[in-house]
Amino acid sequence: MHKLLATSLLAFVLTGGLVQEENSVMSVDSDVIGPFKAFQDDETISFSYSLRYIPNSVYEELKISNAKTGRGFSLETKASHALSGKKGEVMFNLPLRNFFGKDGFRLSFSIYIDGVLSNTSHAYIYPIDSRTVNVTKDKIDGLVSSNVSFQFVGKKVVSFYDNFNFIGFKDYIDAENYSFIDLKSNTFLYNNTLEYSSAELYIYDPEKKFQYLKHDRGNNVIFPLTLNNELEIKNFVLGRNYYVNPYNLQTLTIKSLDTIQTNLIYLPINSKSSFLGSNMKIVLNDCGLNKYKLIFDITYDVSRNLVGNCSDSDYCVKGKVE
For residue 90, give the CATH number of its domain.
Answer: 2.60.40.10
What's the mean per-residue pLDDT of the chain? Answer: 87
**Assigned domain for 200 exists:** yes
**pLDDT score at 41:** 97
pLDDT in tens, 293-311: 999 999 888 764 555 545 4
Q: How far apart are CA 285 and CA 132, in angstroms?
A: 9
Domain of residue 280: give its range. Answer: 162-315
The answer on 311 and 212 residing in a single domain is yes
The answer on 174 and 114 residing in a single domain is no
The answer on 291 and 189 residing in a single domain is yes
**Assigned domain for 299 exists:** yes
The answer on 170 and 63 residing in a single domain is no
**Assigned domain for 45 exists:** yes
The answer on 70 and 197 residing in a single domain is no
Burial class from Cβ neighbours inside 10 Å (0-12, 13-18, 19+) for residue 22 reads: exposed
Which are the contacts of 299, defined by CB distance < 8 A and separation ≥ 6?
A: 171, 172, 173, 277, 278, 279, 280
**Assigned domain for 44 exists:** yes
- Residue 239's nearest CA partner among 196, 269, 290 is 196
**pLDDT score at 23:** 63
- Residue 250's nearest CA partner among 240, 239, 265 is 265
**Assigned domain for 301 exists:** yes
Q: Look at the chain and report how many structural domains it folds into.
A: 2
Q: How far is CA 190 from the centre of its chain?
A: 8
- Of the chain, the percentage scoring pLDDT greater than 70 comes to 87
pLDDT in tens, 14-72: 333 334 445 699 999 999 999 999 999 999 999 999 999 999 999 999 999 999 998 88
The answer on 310 and 166 residing in a single domain is yes
The answer on 286 and 173 residing in a single domain is yes
**pLDDT score at 212:** 96
Q: How far apart are CA 274 and CA 260, in angstroms?
A: 24
**Assigned domain for 12 exists:** no
pLDDT over 80 (residue 93):
yes
pTM of the predicted model as reported, rounded to 2 decimal places: 0.83
Q: How far apart are CA 240 and CA 177, in angstroms?
A: 23
- Report the alpha-carbon angle 161-163-165, nearest 5: 175
* Cβ proximity of 94 and 44 under 8 Å: yes
The answer on 295 and 210 residing in a single domain is yes
